[in-house]
Amino acid sequence: MHLTLLLHLTLNHHFTLLLHLTLDHHLTLLPHLTLDHHLTLLPHLTLLPHLTLDHHLTLDHHLTLLPHLTLHHHHHLTLLPHLTLHHHHHLTLLLHLTLHLPSIFLQAISTLNSSTSSIESDSGSSDHTTTNTNSVTDRISGTGLGFTYCGACRFLAKIVVGYFRLGAPSSLLVNLLVKICYAIAYQSLSVCRGIIYQDMESLIWIIQNSPTNGEEICALLLGDRGCGEFQRSPWKVPLPPRRHSAVPPPPPHPHLDVTPTTHYTSDAESYNSTPVGHLTGPPPGHPTGPPTGYVTFGSSSPPGHLIGPPPGVVSSGSGKKVLKMLHLTDPHYDPDYVVGSNALCDAPLCCTSDSGPPKEESARAGQWGDYRNCDSPKWLLHHMLNHIITNHPDIDYVVCTGDLVPHHIWRISREENVAIMKDMSELLQQFFPSTPIYGSIGNHESFPRDSFPPPEVSEVWSKFGLQWLYDAVSERWEVMMGRPVPPSARYGGFYSILARPGLRIISLNTNYCYRLNWWVLYKSVDPGLMLTWLVVELGKAEANGEVVHIIGHIPPFYVDCFAQWGHQFSRVLDRFSHVIRGQFYGHSHMDEFRIHYGPGPDGSGRKRPVGVQYITPNNGPYHNLNPSYRVYYIDGDHPHTTRDVIDYETWVMNLTHANQYNSPHWYHLYSARRDLHLPSLQPRHWHELVQRMSRDPALFQKYFRYQVQDSDPGLAKGCDGECRHKTLCSIVDGDRLTPSRCRRGPPPPGY
């Protein structure tokens, strides 16, 4: 039956209007959900109750708040005439923001806004490229519809927060979100249900047990789109005072004499001679000499010069003066890949048996993978690894920085993720049976995906903990490294281990800073206590005369890491920049880097480039990218070693050619020093490269070709002047809580 009620509607300036509502059955309206001002709403838009409206808002007739709850007649609810409703204008922009899942937020943006032209990263962020000045990012920053975009996000996020915080039944809102997902994102109810149901329990708990509000949610999820920066009360990781010596001493000479029968002990860690005798160099029988030539940069660099480390820096015998490190990341192995299946399905991942039949011949999945939303078949990864050991038989150690599992985010499970991670680790061991492999965790390894609760909060850990994941990866890491992992690996998915004499590898679980990790809303102050632990480990390394290489999945200066965590990480780098000699990450799927600026040794406080975060491209094709891998050359085992990165080279396979001729061909795409004209890979030379690219469009286009791994779709899309500006700014503005170093136009001296 219908009842006519009077409802008090509170405005921001503390006065009240009466409005007429027709209420069906026994639905209850509750107050106190704030809307931002200047927000344009639409007719026939399904919302939720509990509205407290700010000024400057006009609602039109027939606005559906809940099923069977309708506002009638325009004159019954007119607050101020500044903004009015429009007939279905920007409906998709407003609707897709009601989704509570970050992946749907971002994928809907890229799908529904034809003016957005960007090459998406793994998570859907686009801090690097936008080729149309009318993009979503531009509209948000002050032109076009950006204000509506962010305002609508805040409004709808407040609805979700208010609804769950009041303890209302979740089924109604969940069903609504599933329908919206189906309408604007994926034309598959099973996909939408899987994505939304997966997060519901933890999201409701977080909302009910934290001060989270709509503004924070939108700043966290859409901060890269101009909707603010997620920040709570300032916090700092405690740092020890600087030691008198700015540079740690080189490791004592006896440490260099490591043979299969030698045991070395430090910080309760030891080399076990049986499984890890290979730590002294490449396996027996493998060549130890350098490539036949190498070019250093001066006035000229003749074409056709060879790649590799500088001449004379590799010696035969027990110690290698240059080490070769293989970096693998984001293979996204899909055991269900089916050749000829549908590559244009209505799901986050296609090219599988459940992707539906292809509607046309061009929609069939390729033999060796596909540029569209498809992950890596096993034979592609097998072919890549075979090429690596054939062309690089002298790899000294391997780093694998996560995201081993596919993008089937709507139907994942603990059991399947563990099984796929086991398959991938066994595949790596087949090709590198006597080479240590150091791993880190990707955001896709968890269940629910992207979910990394803080292990230090017992109430959270007992209900939502990832002990199953950290136990599983620790078991695999022990086998691949040939030695026990420290307890921190099972506690929080991070560890510190002495890989070679004087060289410590610290593997971080940077998913704690991931902006699509809902648990950041619950605990944003040093989640996992990992930064505090990192300071302790770096302090030990400093005291012992060791240097450190850091590995992880999400780069701390990448847009997907929330700014406060990234800023605290930057402070740690400031303090220990002389100890940290390399950082290696993945996640972006693209070939990128970030520069860290810190105080110089003169004590003036003037910032200078002191570190580089290397972002290695992905091993698979997801999406619009060529499969690739990277080999780094590291200063090796000699008395005066710095363990600095000397050079690197990136290899790719053109997917178009491989599928057209059923003949995959891996080729050397570029070497950093040779092709980017870098005197060295010291931070200052990367800084100078950015300056040169800002002035030289041709040089930048060369870099862009490497950034997209020479892929046909990436090159066809291109990167215009605005894209170049955004790309270069992302390199120098990694710490987003410090003043921007980025300016439009050619930078002045000292930029």
What is 616-681 written as a DSSP string? Answer: PPPSS-TTTS--EEEEEEEE-SSTT----EEEEEEEEE-HHHHHHHT---EEEEEEHHHHTT-S-S
pLDDT score recorded for residue 166? 85
Cβ atoms 670, 706 nearer than 8 A: yes
Instruction: Report which of 535, 142, 186 is spatially closest to residue 348, judged by C-alpha positions.
Output: 186
Rounded distance between C-alpha atoms, residue 727 and residue 131, angstroms: 11
Burial of 691 (0-12, 13-18, 19+ CB in 10 A): middle
Q: What would you report as the CA-atom Rg of the chain, rounded to the nearest whole angstrom?
A: 27
Which two tokens mark 535?
A: 């300071």
Rounded distance between C-alpha atoms, residue 473 and residue 457, angstroms: 21
Identify whether 246 is part of a domain.
no
Rounded distance between C-alpha atoms, residue 588 and residue 718, angstroms: 18
Identify whether 13 is part of a domain.
no
Residue type, 103: S
Q: For CA atoms 521, 523, 529, 532, give the dihedral sign.
A: positive
pLDDT score recorded for residue 244? 61
pLDDT score recorded for residue 158? 87
Identify whether 150 is part of a domain.
no
pLDDT score recorded for residue 187? 80
User: Tokens 């730590």 identify what position?
Assistant: 279
Identify whether 140 is part of a domain.
no
The 3-state DSSP class for residue 153 equals: helix
Cβ atoms 555, 615 nearer than 8 A: yes
pLDDT score recorded for residue 223? 78
Strand pairing report for 69-71 and 63-66: antiparallel
pLDDT score recorded for residue 691? 96
Cβ atoms 551, 506 nearer than 8 A: yes
Rounded distance between C-alpha atoms, residue 282 and residue 278, angstroms: 6
CA angle 566, 131, 99 (to 5 degrees): 60
The tally of CA atoms less than 13 A away on the side-chain side of residue 596 is 29
Instruction: Report which of 357, 467, 482 is spatially closest to residue 432, judged by C-alpha positions.
Output: 482
The 3-state DSSP class for residue 339 equals: coil
pLDDT score recorded for residue 65? 35
Identify whether 251 is part of a domain.
no
Rounded distance between C-alpha atoms, residue 402 and residue 472, angstroms: 13
Euclidean distance between the first and the last CA atom of the chain, given in angstroms as a whole number: 69
Identify whether 455 is part of a domain.
yes
The 3-state DSSP class for residue 726 equals: helix
How far does CA 273 lie from the centroid of its chain? 37
pLDDT score recorded for residue 27? 33
Identify whether 17 is part of a domain.
no
Q: What is the CATH number of the domain that holds 726?
A: 3.60.21
pLDDT score recorded for residue 269? 32
- Tens-place pLDDT, residues 400-416: 999 999 999 999 999 99
Instruction: Report which of 680, 637, 632 is spatially closest to residue 315, judged by C-alpha positions.
Output: 637
User: Tokens 């030289």 identify what position?
Assistant: 696
pLDDT score recorded for residue 152? 74
Segments in the chain below pLDDT 50: 1-147, 246-318, 746-751
> 336 — alpha (psi -120 to 50), left (phi > 0) or beta?
alpha
Instruction: Report which of 319, 297, 366, 309 is spatially closest to residue 338, judged by C-alpha positions.
Output: 366
Question: Which residues face 53 on adjacent strands?
Answer: 11, 35
In 10 A of CB 501, how many CB atoms? Answer: 23
- Tell me the C-alpha to C-alpha distance, in Å, between residue 299 and each of 134, 302, 677, 684: 42, 10, 10, 19
pLDDT score recorded for residue 228? 84
Listed as own residue / partner, the contacts of 748-751 with beta carbons closer than 8 Å and 24 or more positions apart are 751/691, 751/694
Residue type, 57: L
Rounded distance between C-alpha atoms, residue 369 and residue 351, angstroms: 8
Q: Which domain holds residue 599?
A: 259-269+322-337+378-644+702-732
Helices and strands, number each (H, E), in the chain: 20, 20
Total count of residues recorded for the chain: 751
Q: How many domains does the chain have?
A: 1
Q: Which helix (H) or strand (E) holds 478?
A: helix 467-481
> 710 — alpha (psi -120 to 50), left (phi > 0) or beta?
left
